[in-house]
C-alpha cells in the first residue's frame, strides 16, 4: 500500500493528496472523510452493487469506489440529491428484509443497520410479496438468502483474494416493484433494486474447491453469511477484542480474538470467534477457526516443576518446535549459555544455513522480498502454495486480478487450486529435485547483469522455445518482480547451490527473493537462536519430542510439565515478511513458564516478564503497534533491517538428485499447519496414487518412508493432482528434504 502522494485534489473543500491509481473512496478514507459504502472491498474489483458511495466529482456523478483520483479534481461527498438517493437505496435494501435483528448474529455490527440509521430510514414506502428463500450450510459457513442484499462481497473476496471462486450469483425470481414506486426511483436506486431482486448467492461450478477459510462470512455486511459455529452464540457487543498475530504459519496475519465468559455460572473466558480487518488482511481457515489451542488446565504444580528443573540440569540438549515466541527463544539462548546445552530445531537450522549461504552471495543479511513486494510478476519455487502459506497464494492471486499481473509456479506436484487460479498463472511442473535447473534457466533469462564466470556454469540451461515464449509474454511490461522460494529448497540435497543461485538472482536480476519458512516462527529461531545441528544425550523437548517434555499441549505423566500456549502469552513472533509482530494473551494461564524455569537455574538472575527481553530484538515490547491505518499501512511491530555484507558469485553447475521408485512429499492438509491443528497422521493421496498403491480411503496402510516404518491412514486429497501423495506426521520423525521414497510394507 506504499507509493508517493503525487495527486492533489479537493474533497469536501479539503485539499488532500493521493497516490496515482487511488480511488476517490480510498483517498477520502485515508483522510478520515466518511463516504457511505457497502459493496466495495479494498484490494478487490468493484461490483458497483450498492451505489451508496456516489459522489459529485467535477460536477458529474461518480462511484467513488471505482473512480480514480485526478489532479485538481473537486469532489463533494454530500448534497441533497446524493442524500435522497442514498436514503432511497437503504429503503430498497429494507424491502422484505426480515425484522429479526434481535436474534441476528450480525446485530450491533451490521452495515445494513448502520447505514439505514445513518440515512435516516424510519419508514418503508413499498411492499411486495416475498419469495421463498431457504438457508443453506456450505462447509463452515451458513447462508441465509433472506438476509442477503447481493452486495457480492462474498463472491468477490473468494475470486479476487482467496483464488478459489467458489461462489457466484444465481437468479432469484420474485415480484417486480409497483410501477408507481419504480417511477419514483432514480436510475441508480433502481439499479440497486434490479440487482438485488435478480440474484442470490450460490456455490459456483468451482464450489467443490472451497477451502473453508470463512472469508466470505467475514466480509458479509449483514447476517446473511456467517460462520456456522458462531450462530446464536453471542451478541457482538458482549465480546472482548484482543488484536494479535496468528501463530499457525509464518505469515503471522493480523487477527482479533473475541472472548467472553463461558457462561453465567462459569466466569472463565473462552474464544467465541476470530475476526479480521478484512479490507487489508484476509485469513485462512486455520487462523479463523483453529483458535482453540490454549493449555487450559495448567496449575503451578511444584513437584512437576522440580522434576523439570532436575531434568534441565542433566540435559545435554533442548529440542524445540517453532510454535514459540521470539522472547522464549531468547530465554532458551540464556539457558544454553548457563547450562551448556545444545539447542535443536531442524527446520530453523536448515533455514538459517540456507539464509547464510544466500546472504554470502546476495550481499545482504536478509532477503529483499516479502508479501508486500508481490506485484505484477511473481514466481514461486519449492513451495506448495495452497498448503504451506495460503497468504502468499492470496497475495499472488490478488496481484493477478488487481494488478493485471502474471505468475509462474514451479512445483512438481499438481495443485487443483493453483492450476485453475487465473489465466495468467502459468504452471510449469518439472521434475522432483529439478529446482537447480529451473533457477539456472531463470538466471539465464532474467539476470542480465550476471558476470561471465557464474554464467559459464549454467550457460546450457535455457527454457525451451515454447516455454520461453509463454514466459516472455507474461513478463512483458511488468515491473514488480518477486520470487518466492519455499522450504523444499532449504533441506534439499543441493540446498547450498540453490541458495547461491537465489543470491545471484537477488543481486543480478530484477527479482526480489522471499524465503518462505516451513513452520510458524522458524525465521525467529533461525535469526535469534544459537542453534546446533544435532542433539546429544538426555534431551528436553519444548513442544517437541524429548526425554522430558515441556508441553503447551497439556502435560501428560511425570515426564512432562505444562507450558503456556502462544495464545496465552505476551511476546513477539517473526513473520516470513521479516517483521517482528506482537502477540497478546487472549486467554489466561496459571501454570509455570519458561522464564520460571530459567529463573530457577540462573543463580539469582531473574526475568520478570518474557517481554522484558523484547528490546534485544530491536524495540521495547510496549512500543509495538498492531493495526492497519485507514489507508492500509501495516503498523504492526517493525520490519527487521538488512545490512550489506561482502559477497561472492560462486555457484556450481546444476546436479539434481534422483529418487528411485514412488515418491511422497512431506506436507500437511490445507490449514493443518501444526500439531494443534492436526486431525491425525495421514497419507494424503491423489486418486491415481491410491489406486496404484492399492490403498483404500480411510484404511490404515503400513509403509516404509526412507526406510523407516509408519502406519498411516490413507485419505484422498482433492487438491493433489497426478501420481503423488503427501505424508502428514507431526512428531518430527520425518525431517530433511521434503521429497522421500515410499514403499508398501
- Which residues of the chain form contacts with ligand FES (CB under 6 A)? 37-40, 48-53, 63, 65
Continuous segment of H or E residues that includes residue 709: strand 708-716
- Least Å distance between CB 378 and ligand SF4? 21
> Mask: binding to ligand SF4, 187-216, rule CB under 6 A, as x and -?
--------------x--------xxxxxxx
Q: Whose CB is nearest to ligand FES? A: 65
Please name the residues in contact with 143: beta carbons below 8 A apart, sequence gap of 6 or more.
Answer: 135, 136, 137, 201, 224, 225
| Contact of residue 65 among ligand FES, ligand SF4, none (CB under 5-8 Å per partner type) | ligand FES
How near is the Cβ of 285 to ligand SF4 at its closest, in Å? 7
Residue 506 sits at φ, ψ, to 5 deg, of: -65, -35
Query: 208 or 530, CB closer to ligand SF4?
Result: 208
**Binding of ligand SF4 by 55 (CB under 6 A):** no
Instruction: Using alpha carbons, list the distances in angstroms from residue 260 to 32, 40, 241, 255, 373.
Output: 31, 31, 9, 17, 38
Cα dihedral value 619, 622, 624, 628, nearest 10: -170
Distance, in Å, from the CA atom of 74 to the CA atom of 91, rounded to the nearest integer, reads 29
Q: What is the Cα–Cα distance from 484 to 494, expressed in whole angstroms?
A: 18
| Residue 38 binds which of ligand FES, ligand SF4, none (CB < 5-8 A, kind-dependent) | ligand FES
User: Where does 129-246 have alpha helices with state H?
Assistant: 153-157, 179-183, 187-198, 215-219
To ligand FES, the closest distance from the beta carbon of 66 in angstroms equals: 6
| Residue 63: contacted member of ligand FES, ligand SF4, none (CB under 5 to 8 Å, by partner type) | ligand FES
Those residues with Cβ within 8 angstroms of residue 537's Cβ, 6 or more apart along the chain or in another chain: 315, 316, 317
Q: Which is nearer to ligand SF4, 210 or 513 (CB)?
A: 210
**Contact between 48 and ligand SF4 per CB under 6 A:** no
Q: What is the nearest approach in angstroms of ligand FES to the Cβ of residue 47?
A: 7
CB of 201 to ligand FES, least distance (A): 16
The H or E element spanning position 387 is helix 385-388
Residue 685 touches which of ligand SF4, ligand FES, none (Cβ within 5-8 Å per kind): none
Q: Which is nearer to ligand FES, 79 or 722 (CB)?
A: 79
Other CB atoms within 10 Å distance of the CB of residue 102: 7
Based on the shown chain and the rule CB under 6 A, indicate whether residue 116 belongs to the binding site for ligand SF4.
no
**Residue 141 contacts ligand SF4 per CB under 6 A:** yes
Output 64 or 482, the one with its CB closest to ligand FES: 64
Instruction: Please state the closest distance from residue 12 (CB atom) to ligand FES, in A.
Output: 17
Told to check if 379 binds ligand SF4 by CB under 6 A, we report no
220, interface contact from ligand FES, ligand SF4, none, CB < 5-8 Å by kind: ligand SF4
Distance CA 717, CA 725 (A): 9
Of ligand SF4, ligand FES, none, which one sits near residue 37, judging by CB under 5 to 8 A according to partner kind? ligand FES
Residue 433 interaction partner, one of ligand FES, ligand SF4, none, beta carbon < 5-8 Å per kind: none
Least distance from ligand SF4 to the Cβ atom of residue 270, Å:
23
**Closer to ligand SF4 by Cβ: residue 150 or 586:** 150
224 lines the binding site for ligand SF4 (CB under 6 A): yes
| Least distance (Å) between residue 123 CB and ligand SF4 | 23
Q: Where are the beta strands (DSSP E) in 396-538?
A: 406-410, 414-415, 425-427, 481-485, 512-515
Q: What is the nearest approach in angstroms of ligand FES to the Cβ of residue 183?
A: 23
Tell whether residue 151 is a contact of ligand SF4 (CB under 6 A): yes
Which secondary-structure segment (H or E) carries 684?
A: strand 682-685
Nearer to ligand SF4 among residue 211 and residue 495 (C-beta): 211
Stretch that binds ligand SF4, among 148-156, 237-245, 445-453, 562-570 (CB under 6 A): 148-156
Q: How far is CA 459 from CA 275, 519, 654, in A?
A: 51, 35, 11
150 binds ligand SF4 (CB under 6 A): yes
Beta bridge partners of 343: 318
Note whether 158 binds ligand SF4 by CB under 6 A.
yes
Strands (E), 12-122: 14-18, 54-57, 60-63, 74-76
Please count the CA atoms within 13 angstroms of the CA of 604 that sit on its side-chain side.
Answer: 0
Q: Which does 418 bind (CB under 5 to 8 A by kind): ligand FES, ligand SF4, none?
A: none
**Partner in contact with 141, chosen from ligand SF4, ligand FES, none, beta carbon below 5 to 8 Å by kind:** ligand SF4
Using rule CB under 6 A, residue 225 touches ligand SF4? yes
Among candidate residues 12, 13, 10, 14, the one with its CA nearest the CA of residue 69: 10
Q: How many residues contact ligand SF4, by CB under 6 A?
A: 29
Q: How far are the Cα atoms of 81, 394, 484, 509 from residue 385, in angstroms, in the given order?
A: 48, 9, 10, 23
How near is the Cβ of 416 to ligand SF4 at its closest, in Å? 13
> Which of 152, 258, 435, 522 touches ligand SF4 by CB under 6 A?
152
Residue 167 makes contact with ligand SF4 by CB under 6 A: yes
Question: Does 664 participate in binding ligand SF4 (rule CB under 6 A)?
Answer: no
Could you write out the DSSP letters of every residue in 221-241?
SSSSEEEGGGTTT--GGGPEE
159 vs 163: CA distance, rounded Å: 5
Nearer to ligand FES, 53 or 701 (CB): 53
Length of the chain: 745
Would you list the DSSP string of 294-330?
A: --TT----HHHHHHHHHHHHH-SEEEE-S-S-HHHHH
Q: Across the strands, what pairs with 550?
A: 542, 561
Nearest approach, Cβ of residue 290 and ligand SF4 (Å): 14
Q: Which of 23, 42, 77, 222 binds ligand SF4 (CB under 6 A)?
A: 222
**For residues 154 and 145, what is the distance between their CA atoms, to the nearest angstrom?**
13
Which residues sit opposite 684 in a β-bridge?
715, 726
Distances (CA, A) of 304 to 295, 591, 592: 16, 11, 10
Partner from ligand SF4, ligand FES, none binding residue 212, C-beta < 5-8 Å depending on class: ligand SF4
* Interface ranges with ligand SF4 (CB under 6 A): 141, 143, 148-154, 157-158, 162, 164, 166-167, 201, 210-216, 219-222, 224-225
Amino acid at each position: 500500500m506504499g507509493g508517493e502522494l503525487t495527486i492533489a485534489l479537493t474533497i469536501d473543500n479539503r485539499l488532500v493528496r493521493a497516490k496515482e491509481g487511488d480511488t476517490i473512496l480510498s483517498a477520502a478514507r485515508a483522510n478520515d472523510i466518511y463516504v457511505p459504502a457497502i459493496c466495495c472491498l479494498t484490494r478487490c474489483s468493484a461490483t458497483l452493487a450498492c451505489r451508496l458511495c456516489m459522489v459529485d466529482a467535477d460536477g458529474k456523478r461518480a462511484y467513488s469506489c471505482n473512480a480514480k483520483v485526478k489532479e485538481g479534481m473537486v469532489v463533494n461527498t454530500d448534497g441533497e440529491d446524493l442524500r435522497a438517493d442514498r436514503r432511497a437505496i437503504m429503503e430498497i435494501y429494507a424491502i422484505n428484509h426480515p425484522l429479526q435483528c434481535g436474534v441476528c448474529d450480525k446485530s450491533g455490527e451490521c452495515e445494513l443497520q448502520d447505514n439505514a440509521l445513518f440515512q435516516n430510514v424510519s419508514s418503508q414506502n413499498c411492499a411486495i410479496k416475498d419469495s421463498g428463500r431457504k438457508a443453506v450450510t456450505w462447509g463452515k459457513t451458513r447462508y441465509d438468502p433472506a438476509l442477503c442484499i447481493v452486495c457480492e462481497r462474498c463472491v468477490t473476496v473468494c475470486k479476487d483474494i482467496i483464488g478459489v471462486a467458489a461462489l457466484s450469483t444465481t437468479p432469484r425470481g420474485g415480484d417486480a416493484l409497483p410501477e408507481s414506486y419504480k417511477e419514483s426511483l432514480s436510475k441508480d436506486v433502481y439499479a440497486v433494486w434490479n440487482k438485488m431482486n435478480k440474484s442470490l448467492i450460490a456455490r459456483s461450478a468451482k464450489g467443490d474447491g472451497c477451502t473453508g477459510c470463512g472469508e466470505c462470512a467475514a466480509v458479509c455486511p449483514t447476517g446473511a453469511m456467517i460462520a456456522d459455529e458462531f450462530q446464536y452464540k453471542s451478541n457482538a457487543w458482549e465480546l472482548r477484542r484482543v488484536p494479535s498475530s496468528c501463530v499457525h504459519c509464518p505469515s503471522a496475519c493480523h487477527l482479533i480474538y473475541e472472548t467472553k465468559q463461558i457462561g453465567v455460572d462459569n466466569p472463565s473466558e473462552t474464544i467465541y470467534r476470530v475476526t479480521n480487518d478484512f479490507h487489508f488482511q484476509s485469513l485462512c481457515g486455520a487462523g479463523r477457526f483453529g483458535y482453540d489451542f490454549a493449555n487450559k488446565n495448567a496449575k503451578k504444580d511444584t513437584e512437576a516443576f522440580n522434576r523439570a528443573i532436575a531434568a534441565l540440569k542433566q540435559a545435554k540438549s533442548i529440542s524445540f518446535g517453532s510454535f514459540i515466541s521470539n522472547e522464549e527463544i531468547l530465554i532458551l539462548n540464556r539457558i544454553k549459555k548457563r547450562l551448556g546445552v545444545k539447542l535443536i530445531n531442524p527446520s530453523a537450522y536448515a533455514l538459517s544455513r540456507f539464509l547464510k549461504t544466500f546472504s554470502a552471495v546476495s550481499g545482504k543479511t536478509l532477503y529483499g522480498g516479502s508479501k508486500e513486494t508481490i506485484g505484477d510478476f511473481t514466481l514461486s519455487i519449492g513451495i506448495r502454495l495452497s498448503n504451506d502459506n495460503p497468504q502468499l497464494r492470496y497475495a499472488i492471486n490478488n496481484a493477478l486480478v488487481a494488478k493485471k499481473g502474471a505468475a509462474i509456479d514451479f512445483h512438481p506436484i499438481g495443485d487443483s487450486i493453483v492450476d485453475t487460479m487465473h489465466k495468467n498463472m502459468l504452471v510449469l511442473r518439472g521434475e522432483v529435485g529439478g529446482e537447480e535447473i529451473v533457477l539456472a534457466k531463470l538466471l539465464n533469462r532474467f539476470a542480465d547483469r550476471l558476470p561471465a564466470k557464474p554464467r559459464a556454469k549454467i550457460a546450457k540451461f535455457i527454457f525451451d522455445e515454447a516455454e520461453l515464449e509463454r514466459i516472455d509474454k507474461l513478463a512483458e511490461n511488468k515491473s514488480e518482480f518477486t520470487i518466492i522460494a519455499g522450504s523444499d529448497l532449504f533441506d534439499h540435497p543441493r540446498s547450498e547451490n540453490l541458495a547461491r543461485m537465489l543470491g545471484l538472482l537477488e543481486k543480478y536480476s530484477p527479482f526480489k527473493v522471499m524465503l518462505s519458512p516451513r513452520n510458524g516462527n522458524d525465521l525467529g529461531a533461525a535469526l535469534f537462536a544459537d542453534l546446533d545441528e544435532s542433539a546429544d544425550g538426555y534431551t528436553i523437548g519444548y513442544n517437541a519430542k524429548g526425554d522430558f517434555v515441556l508441553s503447551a499441549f497439556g502435560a501428560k505423566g511425570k515426564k512432562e510439565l505444562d507450558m503456556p500456549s502462544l495464545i496465552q502469552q505476551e511476546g513477539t513472533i517473526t513473520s516470513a515478511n521479516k517483521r517482528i509482530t506482537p502477540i497478546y494473551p487472549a486467554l489466561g494461564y496459571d501454570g509455570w513458564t519458561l522464564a520460571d524455569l530459567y529463573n530457577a537455574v540462573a543463580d539469582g538472575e531473574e526475568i520478570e516478564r518474557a517481554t522484558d527481553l523484547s528490546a534485544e530484538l530491536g524495540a521495547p515490547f510496549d512500543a509495538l503497534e498492531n493495526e492497519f491505518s485507514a489507508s492500509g499501512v501495516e503498523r504492526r511491530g517493525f520490519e527487521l533491517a538488512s545490512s550489506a555484507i561482502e559477497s561472492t558469485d560462486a555457484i556450481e553447475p546444476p546436479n539434481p538428485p534422483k529418487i528411485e521408485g514412488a515418491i511422497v512429499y512431506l506436507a500437511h492438509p490445507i490449514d493443518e499447519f501444526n500439531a494443534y491443528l492436526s486431525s491425525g497422521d495421514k497419507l494424503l493421496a491423489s486418486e491415481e496414487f491410491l489406486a496404484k498403491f492399492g490403498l483404500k480411503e480411510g484404511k490404515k496402510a503400513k509403509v516404509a518412508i526412507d526406510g523407516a516404518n509408519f502406519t498411516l491412514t490413507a485419505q484422498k486429497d482433492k487438491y493433489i493432482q497426478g501420481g503423488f501423495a503427501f505424508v502428514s506426521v507431526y512428531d518430527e520423525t520425518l525431517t530433511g528434504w521434503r521429497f522421500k521414497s515410499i514403499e508398501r510394507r
